[in-house]
Amino acid sequence: MPNPRTPGSFAIALAATAISLLVSACAPGTDHNALLSLEGSPPGAGIRPGSHVAGAAPEHRRESLSQTTPAVVPARPAAPALVAAPVPAVGIHKAALATGSGSAAAGTAAAEAEAAGIGSSAGARVRVAIVSDMNSSYGSTDYRDDVHDAVDDIIRRRPDLILSTGDMVAGQRRGLDYRAMWRAFDAAVVHPFALAGIPFAATPGNHDGSSHPYFSEERDHYRRFWERRKPSLAYVNDDRWPFNYSFTFGHAYIISLDSTQTGPLQPEVFDWLRRELQQARTWPVVIVYGHVPLYAFAQNRENEVIGDPRVERLFVENNVDIAISGHHHTWYPGRRGELRLAGAPCLGSGARRLIGDDEVSERGYIWMEFDRHGIQVLDSYPGEGGHPVDRSSLPVRTGTERFPIDRDDVHSTLGPAGAAR
């Protein structure tokens, strides 16, 4: 696999990305139809009657609290006490790195990308849709209208890439019909995106691919499902597909982090992430996405987090632009210093309240755009489309007293203790 730190490899990886996009766009339908037929998916499974591409949507609204999906996440063994202290947000911004005023290697990478015509100042931004927590009650093979609406709206908007931060089916309980659940998800979500020629890269959640040994059967179903539907992308490391893996897309190095349990990452996962981030640090944009968040966004889920300042320090020291997570079912475009932390809204059951907010977070999906200077757009749209959520309707700060998170449009001096910023 190409190493971004070697001369000329950035352009090679970008060319591979472009080729993979053409492959995805040209022939997703035939292969996917064969897969759908192979697994015996019943006609119309998971698809609501009269599904269509969404047009204009009603005015923005907030919803009342709905039935909550059970969210039991097995915890790892007790970890040492966490220590974090705010430090001034100093250091070089990624935009400066990309334009050569910080790292010479990153400046070279940006120049090679511009020469390749991908993400250059004259080129189009890369557009990414992020969906999360689409499941309903345990064992369900039906999906809410919000899910179908979001699929329609995303296809209408034609992103270059779709990411999922997990909980695509409603497992985490033994004895469920896992195959039926995955067939329904395939019909409702994966198949329409494949027919539209949009690559879809997922990371597991606690309800569909938990790493806890008790749910090994569910995790095996997750692995088999995605091994048959592996998107054509410019992979850097796919030895642990479909759990921990990385790929490049335009000017971005993107990492799927297998975070399906609460508490600090397992040592082998932490070491794997450290190696990936060291390899990614010269890229203009670095994106990490996983299920369980680093720190808390939602009320009553304050302890369902990774909660490890070492991970935050690793992100900061290796120039990660953003860490995107699900599980808390709340939209929040957050920031701790220069590191952005985005909590994804849910599309399925169980929308929740942000810490410090009385309103229930609206269901929807994230729309992100980036170029060689960094992330330029980060918004949440309701499933049926329309206008993005107004940032001013969200609290200026959320999170816990120990690990607060600022809204990303305000100045933040938060950060991990001892990080080089």
CATH of domain 9-41+83-407: 3.60.21.10
pLDDT digit string, tens, across residues 188-242: 999 999 999 999 999 999 889 788 888 788 899 999 999 999 999 999 999 999 9
Sheet holding 161-164, edge to edge: 200-202, 161-164, 126-131, 365-371, 374-381
**DSSP run (H or E) holding 310:** helix 309-317
The stretch 24-28 carries a mean pLDDT of 42
Contact 330, 363 (CB under 8 A): no
Q: Which pLDDT score is estimated for 16?
A: 54
The stretch 136-147 carries a mean pLDDT of 85
The structural domains of the chain, with segments of one domain joined by +, span 9-41+83-407
Cα(266)–Cα(154) distance, integer angstroms: 34
DSSP state letter for 391: G
Sheet holding 285-290, edge to edge: 234-240, 244-249, 252-257, 285-290, 322-325, 339-343, 332-336, 404-407, 397-399
Beta strand segments in 344-407, E: 365-371, 374-381, 397-399, 404-407
φ/ψ (deg, to 5) at 241: -55, 140
Contact 223, 211 (CB under 8 A): no
pLDDT digit string, tens, across residues 42-88: 334 444 444 433 333 333 333 333 333 344 444 444 433 333 333 22
Q: Which pLDDT score is estimated for 122?
A: 39
Confidence of residue 322 (pLDDT cuts 50, 70, 90): very high
pLDDT digit string, tens, across residues 100-134: 333 334 444 444 444 444 443 334 799 999 999 99
Q: Which pLDDT score is estimated for 37?
A: 32
pLDDT digit string, tens, across residues 369-410: 999 999 999 999 998 888 999 999 999 999 999 999 999 999
Q: Which pLDDT score is estimated for 56?
A: 32
Is the pLDDT at 35 greater than 70, yes or no? no
Q: Which residues pair with 245 in a beta bridge?
A: 256
Q: Which pLDDT score is estimated for 133?
A: 93
The stretch 320-343 carries a mean pLDDT of 97
Q: How high is the mean pLDDT of the chain?
A: 78
